[in-house]
Amino acid sequence: MGDVVQIEASNSPGAASTQAQASVADRVYKVLPPAGGASQEDLYGFRAIMNEPAPVEDPEAAAKEAKSKRAVAVLPILLILVLGALVVLIVPKLTKSKAPPLYIDLGSRRFDSAGLGARLIARWEGRAAYQLYIDPLDPQQTGGFQAVAVNPPRPVSLVMRLLDSTGAVACQKEITLPTPAPLTAASEPSQALMPMQTADGDMVQNIAGPDGQIAEITVSGGLPCSLTQYQSLAAWEFFTNFPTLDEQDDWLKHQKINEIATARKSHSGAGGLGFSLRSLHLPAAIDDDDVIVGDNPSQGTIDTQGGRIFLVGVVGMRNRTAEWQVFPAAVHFHCDKNGACVLTRVNSSTTLQARLVK
């Protein structure tokens, strides 16, 4: 009953007001633990942070940090500059083409129908050039070869094809050999050995062999090859309208008939002496003395007391100084193995260039 009364009393208005005042004074707040297992430090740690004094900035540390940041920022730029320098220095060396070889020996080739062998050397002289050597395959065919070289029955031409390593034509050239001036009884033997020039400016020269006959034709000049084409050269081939072996033999016979007729004219014009206008080929060079006893201006020759005949040439005879036209005249002469001679005399400051023909 007591409890009930108390409840009722408490439910009355006056009692409720009195009880509320007493309860406020006596009220006790209970601190509940934070949910989720958080600690007091976790919840109120911000107070300690707020109460902490602001950190004092170290100038040296700040300067070092700024310097470090600048260094990091500059590093990519330095790396780019270094790579650029390497590109400038190394790439040109890697991409620069190798210097071309000064010459490429392309070897020898045959053209059997004409009995010819030919060797070609390509050269680089700031531009592509060549040196070509043509000779008979069989030494017994030298006579016919010479007959064509000295007085061809028709214009002689040849085509050189220069090939790369795949066998493709890198470049080619056609050469038309110049026609030599015809030899006559008054011609000097050396005329057949004089250099000649093609219409394109290439040089052509006949070369005499040990027996005095034309044994080789050399041709040199430029090639229409670019540097890249020149560097790719690996082989070559040639074609020519040079007379065939049978045509050479026929032409040689024709030449001999003409030479016989010319020799007969020379025999009657030279007082019956009769001699070949070709230089003598000696076993060794000679130095000797002799006496000039006469000359033949129409033949371009001078005669000596020792029975020798020197060919000076018609032009050379006309250009002699006065003392060389007085006979008898003691002379000293030197002749090389090919019969090319130099004549001197005591009372003359000039010499005579001559060929020993007898």
Quote the pLDDT of residue 187: 56
Flag the least confident range among 95-99, 113-117, 143-147, 160-164. Answer: 95-99
Q: What percent of the chain has pLDDT over 90?
A: 29
Residue the block writes with tokens 């290439």: 202
What pLDDT sits at residue 49?
58
Contact of 337 with 285, CB cutoff 8 Å: yes
| Nearest one of 307, 286, 289, 309 to 357, comparing CA atoms | 309
Q: Could you tell me which of 275, 292, 281, 299 has the C-alpha nearest to residue 333?
A: 292
Which residues have a Cβ under 8 Å from the Cβ of 189 and sit 6 or more positions away? 277, 278, 279, 311, 355, 357
Maximum mean pLDDT: which of 198-207, 210-219, 222-231: 222-231
Residue found by looking up tokens 């297992």 in the block: 37
Confidence (pTM)? 0.50
Which tokens belong to 29? 């707040």
What SS3 string covers 254-280? HHHHHHHHHHHHHHHHCCCCCCCCCCC
What integer is the mean pLDDT of 72-89? 76
The answer to whether the beta carbons of residues 136 and 215 sit under 8 Å apart is yes
Q: Tokens 């070369």 — which residue? A: 207
- Give the chain's radius of gyration (CA, Å): 56
- The identity of residue 267, as a single letter, is H
Please compute the mean of the pLDDT values over residues 260-265 and round it to a whole number. Answer: 51
What is the number of other CB atoms lying within 10 angstroms of the CB of residue 56? 5
Q: Tell me, what's the pLDDT at 100?
A: 87
Q: Would you say residue 268 has pLDDT above 50? A: no
Measured CA distances, 239 to 106, 114, 206, 236 (Å)? 16, 10, 20, 11
Cα separation values, 53 from 47, 48, 49, 50, 152, Å: 12, 10, 9, 8, 117
99 band by pLDDT with thresholds 50, 70 and 90: confident
Q: What gap in Å lies between CA 175 and CA 168, rounded to an integer?
A: 20
**How many beta carbons lie within 10 A of that of residue 159, not counting itself?**
13
Strands (E) in 137-285, as ranges, are 157-164, 169-176, 196-197, 203-208, 214-222, 233-240
- 169-176 β-sheet, strand order: 169-176, 157-164, 233-240
Could you identify the residue written with the tokens 């084409």? 229
Question: Chain-centre distance of CA 24, in angstroms?
Answer: 116
- Please, which residues have CB within 8 angstroms of residue 186's CB and are 6 or more apart in sequence? 298, 299, 300, 313, 314
User: For the segment 143-184, what is each residue's pLDDT rounded down to a tens digit?
Assistant: 899 889 888 888 999 999 999 999 999 999 999 998 877 665
Are residues 212 and 150 in contact, defined by beta-carbon separation less than 8 angstroms?
Answer: no
Instruction: Detail the DSSP E strand segments found in 99-240.
Output: 103-111, 116-124, 128-136, 157-164, 169-176, 196-197, 203-208, 214-222, 233-240
Half-sphere CA count of 106, side-chain side, radius 13 A? 29
